[in-house]
């Protein structure tokens, strides 16, 4: 790993932490708040790629686990792993990896801007919505005992907001790719 990689990982961990400062919005349907930090997970994947994006998310979770209040709502400490939302937190790791992997595979520097934007959007939806929800809903159903179908239906209220986050991540990924490409290229 280069010094540049370490700086980028730290920078995106800081971005994730900064997005945690925005207050969470609770819908009251299920005990999972709407936070801006899932946008940071998508951004880490589309801008940094699979390896560095995942390490940025892992660094953020480590910082939270040691007790610093860096998660949305000022949460931190080992208690973050004992809540109904733990599945979403663990899902961040897989979400960043999948988003980054798909971005690396499908978005290339020479592509037209629209093609890049669509590629980043699809990668963000696959990783930041589908994969993240798979972890989050499964754990939520298990931890609360409400059943998978009820957890799934309750989580559908968050889809519109997460699709907006995917659009924002795609736009940001495209802007970074145009100005200062950081995404590793796979062949």
Structure confidence at residue 154 (pLDDT): 85
Average pLDDT over residues 168-172: 96
pLDDT digits (tens, 9 = 90+) for 108-123: 988 999 999 999 999 9
Residue 184 has pLDDT above 90, yes or no: no
Q: Could you tell me the pTM of the whole model? A: 0.91
CA–CA separation, 18 and 40 (whole Å): 9
Residues 6+ apart with CB under 8 A from 39: 19, 128, 165, 168, 169
Query: Band of the pLDDT at 99, cuts 50, 70, 90?
Result: very high
Token reading at 110: 């020479």
pLDDT digits (tens, 9 = 90+) for 6-35: 999 999 999 999 999 888 777 666 556 678
Helix (H, G, I), strand (E, B) or coil at 84: coil
Helix (H, G, I), strand (E, B) or coil at 25: strand
| Packing angle, helices 50-65 and 37-48, rounded to 10 | 150
- The separation between CA 12 and the C-alpha centre of its own chain, rounded to angstroms, equals 11
CA–CA separation, 67 and 70 (whole Å): 9
Query: Band of the pLDDT at 181, cuts 50, 70, 90?
Result: confident
Q: Hey, how many other C-beta atoms are within 10 angstroms of the C-beta on 71?
A: 23
Q: Which of 22-31, 88-97, 129-138, 147-156 has the lowest mean pLDDT?
A: 22-31
Which residues sit opposite 75 in a β-bridge? 71
């Amino acid at each position: 790993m280069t010094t540049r990689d370490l700086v980028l990982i730290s920078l995106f961990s800081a971005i994730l932490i900064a997005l945690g400062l925005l207050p969470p919005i609770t819908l009251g349907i299920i005990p999972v708040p709407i936070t801006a930090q899932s946008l940071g997970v998508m951004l880490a994947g589309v801008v940094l790629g699979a390896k560095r994006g995942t390490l940025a998310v892992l660094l953020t979770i480590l910082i939270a686990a040691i007790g610093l209040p860096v998660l949305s709502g000022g949460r931190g400490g080992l208690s973050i792993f004992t809540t109904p939302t733990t599945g979403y937190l663990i899902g961040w790791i897989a979400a960043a990896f999948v988003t980054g992997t798909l971005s690396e595979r499908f978005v290339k520097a020479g592509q037209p801007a629209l093609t890049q934007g669509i590629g980043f959007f699809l990668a963000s939806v696959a990783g930041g919505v589908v994969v993240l929800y798979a972890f989050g809903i499964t754990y939520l159903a298990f931890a609360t005992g409400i059943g998978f179908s009820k957890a799934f239906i309750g989580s559908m209220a968050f889809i519109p907001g997460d699709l907006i986050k995917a659009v924002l991540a795609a736009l940001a990924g495209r802007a970074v790719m145009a100005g200062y490409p950081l995404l590793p290229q796979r062949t």
